Copies of this chain bind each other. A is one copy, B any other.
Amino acid sequence: MESPMTVGLPDLMPGQSLARGVARHLLSHDFVTVEELVPTPGLRVDLMALGPKGEVWVIECKSCRADFTTDRKWQGYLDWCDRFFWAVDADFPVDLLPAETGLILADGYDAEIVRMGPEQRLAGARRKAVLQGFARVAARRLQGLRDPGAFSTAVI
């Protein structure tokens, strides 16, 4: 029998499980989220969040030390958000993480913002592009789930 704690996390990789918990928690701050978003070719962020006033946050989910130390791209993410956060679980050695970044402790069910990332607000044109990309990815995936036939039709 599955334990109650594993129900609902059947197919998620550790990083995806963290993303789920973070996304759930951010709803309580009225932030909506999209996973695995590509703001520009070559960069894929684990989670992008959009706040009630248009705030754009990026959250990178790291399941273990190696997952963090092999990440050569994270500083590139700073240019695509107003605030940047790491999301890790309770076992992660958080002293590894740069001080000038946000920190979220998470599991698959919930999360807690431990440290806010410093704010570096996006310039207007980039903000508009990011918002538009977020909107288009979210709507396209939503349509894909609601009407899977839509995409085969569009290819024809």
Contacts and interface: CB of A to CB of B under 8 A. Distances in A.
A40 interface: no
Nearest to A151: B27
B139 A33 contact: yes
Contact of A140 (B32, B147, B154): B32
Interface string A106-144: 000110000000000000000010011011101111110
B23 A143 contact: yes
A145 interface: yes
A143 B139 CA distance: 11
Contacts of A131: 128, 131-132, 135
Contact of A128 (B24, B54, B138, B146): B54
Nearest to A132: B54
A150 interface: yes
B147 A20 contact: yes
A54 to B, nearest CB: 5
Closest CB pairs A-B (n = 6): A135-B135, A138-B138, A32-B139, A27-B154, A138-B139, A142-B142
Interface of A: 8, 20, 23-24, 27-28, 32-34, 50, 52, 54, 109-110, 128, 131-132, 134-136, 138-143, 145-147, 149-151, 153-154
